[in-house]
């Protein structure tokens, strides 16, 4: 029988098929789905996040590890009971209007998923009004706003303002990130936090929920 430890190692190594096989073996052996997720699949992504932050792993490896994690999730998620399937929290994430960059945003989304968050990715080139709609529709705990261009940074502030004007600002925590964004800028536009990378974004999201 496979062990949780092997799932962790296979996630870190980005072995998509092996993670699925090991996960199925654990399920067949009667291991609890919640344990497989929290200890094995999310456990593996936790290590990946820490290594990424320490520059010991790089973007392509993180993306493959996330794919491996998903191959296991696909097997265990349908087995969770209603009580067990509650996520760490819900986050709506998107790239602001005028900005087509999504590689970093996708990476952040995958790492949040790996940490057990339900992620609603609304895509790229998203007008402020669409962020507002997504908040009204999905009632998330967190809104994540990404921008990669100095020219689209003002759209982050417009998005925060639109959330305020729509009366939903106080329902959510707002996290911003992207290469040109800084902590000072986040403070200036009234966001609740800034993360320079996916691993920090995960830590910050956990702090918001706690």
Contact assessment for residue 145 and residue 105, using Cβ atoms and an 8 Å cutoff: no
Q: Which of 40, 177, 189, 191 binds ligand B1M (CB under 6 A)?
A: 177
Residue 175 within binding range of ligand B1M, rule CB under 6 A = yes
Residue 144 within binding range of ligand B1M, rule CB under 6 A = yes
Residue 115 within binding range of ligand B1M, rule CB under 6 A = no
Residue 104 within binding range of ligand B1M, rule CB under 6 A = yes
Residue 203 within binding range of ligand B1M, rule CB under 6 A = no
Q: Which of 10, 12, 120, 195 binds ligand B1M (CB under 6 A)?
A: 195
CB within 8 Å of 5: residues ≥ 6 apart: none
The residue (of 40 and 198) whose beta carbon lies closer to ligand B1M is: 198
Q: At what angle do helices 42-53 and 59-76 cross, to 10 degrees?
A: 170
Contact assessment for residue 93 and residue 121, using Cβ atoms and an 8 Å cutoff: yes
The residue (of 2 and 152) whose beta carbon lies closer to ligand B1M is: 152
Residue 167 within binding range of ligand B1M, rule CB under 6 A = no
CB within 8 Å of 15: residues ≥ 6 apart: 68
Contact assessment for residue 59 and residue 133, using Cβ atoms and an 8 Å cutoff: no
Task: Choose the binding region for ligand B1M from 5-13, 35-43, 132-140, 175-183 (rule: CB under 6 A).
Answer: 175-183
The residue (of 7 and 204) whose beta carbon lies closer to ligand B1M is: 204
The residue (of 29 and 100) whose beta carbon lies closer to ligand B1M is: 100
Residue 145 within binding range of ligand B1M, rule CB under 6 A = yes
Residue 148 within binding range of ligand B1M, rule CB under 6 A = yes
- Tell me the two tokens of residue 38: 């929290």
- Sheet with 193-194, edge to edge strand ranges: 118-126, 90-96, 142-146, 173-177, 193-194
Task: Choose the binding region for ligand B1M from 21-29, 35-43, 128-136, 171-179 (rule: CB under 6 A).
Answer: 171-179
Applying CB under 6 A, the residues found at the interface with ligand B1M are: 59, 93, 98-105, 107-108, 144-146, 148-151, 175-180, 195, 197-198, 201
């Amino acid at each position: 029988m496979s062990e949780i430890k092997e799932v962790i190692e296979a996630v870190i190594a980005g072995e998509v098929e092996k993670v699925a096989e090991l996960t199925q073996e654990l399920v067949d052996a009667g291991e609890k789905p919640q344990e497989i997720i929290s200890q094995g699949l999310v456990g593996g992504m936790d290590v990946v996040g820490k290594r990424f932050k320490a520059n010991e792993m790089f973007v392509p490896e993180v993306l493959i590890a996330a794919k491996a994690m998903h191959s296991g999730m696909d097997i265990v998620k349908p087995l969770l009971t209603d009580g067990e399937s509650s996520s760490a929290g819900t986050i709506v994430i998107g790239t602001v209007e005028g900005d087509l960059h999504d590689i970093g945003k996708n990476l952040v989304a995958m790492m949040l998923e790996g940490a057990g968050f339900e992620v609603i990715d609304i895509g790229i080139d998203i007008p402020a009004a669409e962020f507002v709609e997504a908040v009204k529709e999905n009632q998330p705990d967190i809104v994540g706003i990404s921008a990669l261009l100095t020219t689209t940074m003002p759209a982050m502030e417009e998005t925060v303002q639109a959330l305020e004007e729509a009366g939903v600002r106080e329902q959510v925590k707002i996290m911003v990130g992207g290469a040109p964004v800084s902590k000072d800028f986040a403070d200036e536009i009234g966001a609740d936090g800034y993360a320079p990378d996916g691993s920090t974004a995960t830590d910050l999201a956990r702090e918001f929920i706690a």
